[in-house]
Amino acid sequence: MQATLRTSFEVLAMRLAQLLLIAPLVISLPEAGHAEGDCSGALGTARTLGVGTEGGLEIGLKSYPRTLALAEGEFVLTFDDGPLPATTGLVLDALKRECVKATFFLVGRNAQANPDMVKRMLREGHTVGHHSYSHPALTLRGISDAAARSEIDRGFAADDQAAYGEAGGPRVPFFRFPGFADTRTLDDWLASRNIAVFGADLWASDWYPMTPAAQLALLMGRVDKAGRGIILLHDTRAQTAAMLPAFLAALKERGYRIVHIVPRAGRSETLPAPPGWSSETEAALTKIMPRLLQSEHGERAAIEPR
Ligand SMILES: [Zn+2]
C-alpha cells in the first residue's frame, strides 16, 4: 500500500535525499498555546480566495510558469494522498486547533475506504480536491491516455461519492497529478472541462524519512525563502502529522498568513514566474520516466509466461 502510494518522482527524490545526507537538525517543537475551539490566539485563516477555473488553469511554480496571486507572506496549505486513518485525523486535529482551512487532494480509493474522514474535512471547512483514483506507480504519464482519463474520472467519482454521497463530479474542479506527471493531452482535456491543475510552489519533501524537527527546519527555511505560495504536504506521513502543530505555531510567530482556496466561477488572476524560470518537476520526470517504464517492462517480462 505504502509503496503504491509513493510516486516514482517521490521514490527518486527519496534516493537523492539519501545521497545528499540531509542531516536532522535539532530544534524544539513548541506546543500550541490555546484551547481547541478558541480561535483568539490561533493562527487562523486570513482570507478565502475564490479560484476561477473557467477554461482551465495551471498553477504552481515547481511545474508551471504561473501561480496564484498571493500577497507577500500568504501561504496556501495543501495535503496530498489521503485520507489515511492513522495520520489524517491528526492533521485535521492540528488544523482545527489553529482554525486553519486547507485543501486536501484525495486519492480516490483512500476516500472510498474512509468516507467519514472526507466528510469531516468538509464539516471543518476544508476544500476537497482530487489526485487520481489509485495514484498509479507508473504515474498517469506512464499509462495510456485512456487509462489515465479513467483514473482521473474514477478518482473524481470516488472522492465525490465519499464527500457528498453522489458522484456527479467533480464538484470541486481542482486536480493534482500524482508525481506532477501531467501530459499536454490530459492538461488540455482537463482545461476543456474547466478543471484546474495544481502544482505547488514549495514542498516539505516529506517523502524523505526524517524527524519531525528536521522536517520543520527544512520547511521553515523554504517558507522564509519563498515568502509566499502553495505548500505541498502529505497527510499520509506520520512525520508531517507530528510536525504540523509546531509548523502552524512557527507560521504564526513569524507573521505569515493562511489563505483558504475555494472554487468560484470565472477565471483567476495569476502571477508569472520570475525571469529564468524552468520546471523543476519536468526536469526530474525526464530523468525518471524512461527508467520507470523500463523497470515495469522488466517486471512484466519476468512474470509473463512464454
Ligand atoms: Zn501523491
pLDDT digits (tens, 9 = 90+) for 227-263: 999 999 999 999 999 999 999 999 999 999 999 999 9
Parallel, antiparallel or unpaired: strands 103-106 and 74-80: parallel
From 126, 135, 234, 260, the catalytic residue: 234
Q: SS3 for 128?
A: strand
State the distance from the centre of ligand 1 to the C-alpha of 306, rounded, in angstroms.
Answer: 35
Q: State the Cα–Cα distance between residues 280 and 205, nearest whole angstrom.
A: 14
State the distance from the centre of ligand 1 to the C-alpha of 22, rounded, in angstroms.
Answer: 22
pLDDT per residue as tens digits for the range 42-69: 999 999 999 999 999 999 999 999 999 9
**Is the CB of residue 198 less than 8 Å from the CB of residue 230?**
yes
pLDDT over 60 (residue 166): yes
State the distance from the centre of ligand 1 to the C-alpha of 230, rounded, in angstroms.
Answer: 15
pLDDT over 60 (residue 154): yes
Q: SS3 for 67?
A: strand
Q: State the Cα–Cα distance between residues 65 and 53, nearest whole angstrom.
A: 17
Q: State the Cα–Cα distance between residues 94 and 126, nearest whole angstrom.
A: 13
Q: For the stretch 64-74, what's the b/e string if a residue is b when 16 or more beta carbons lie within 10 angstroms of its beta carbon? A: bbbbbebeeeb
Torsion angle of C-alpha atoms 201, 101, 122, 78, degrees rounded to 10: 20
Q: State the Cα–Cα distance between residues 86 and 210, nearest whole angstrom.
A: 18
153 among known catalytic residues = no
- Residue 295 is predicted with a pLDDT of 81
In the structure grid, which three cell numbers stand for residue 127, read together? 476544500
Q: Name 191's Cβ contacts closer than 8 Å, sequence gap at least 6.
A: 55, 56, 57, 58, 197
Give, as residue ranges, everything with CB less than 5 Å from ion ligand 1: 80-81, 178
State the distance from the centre of ligand 1 to the C-alpha of 232, rounded, in angstroms.
Answer: 10
State the distance from the centre of ligand 1 to the C-alpha of 207, rounded, in angstroms.
Answer: 10
May I ask the CATH class of domain 49-297? alpha beta
Write down the domain spans for the chain. Answer: 49-297
pLDDT per residue as tens digits for the range 267-303: 999 999 999 999 999 999 999 999 888 886 655 544 4
Of 73, 70, 77, the residue nearest 49 (C-alpha)? 70
**Is the CB of residue 211 less than 8 Å from the CB of residue 24?**
yes
Confidence of residue 26 (pLDDT cuts 50, 70, 90): very low
Torsion angle of C-alpha atoms 121, 123, 125, 126, degrees rounded to 10: 10
pTM summary value? 0.87
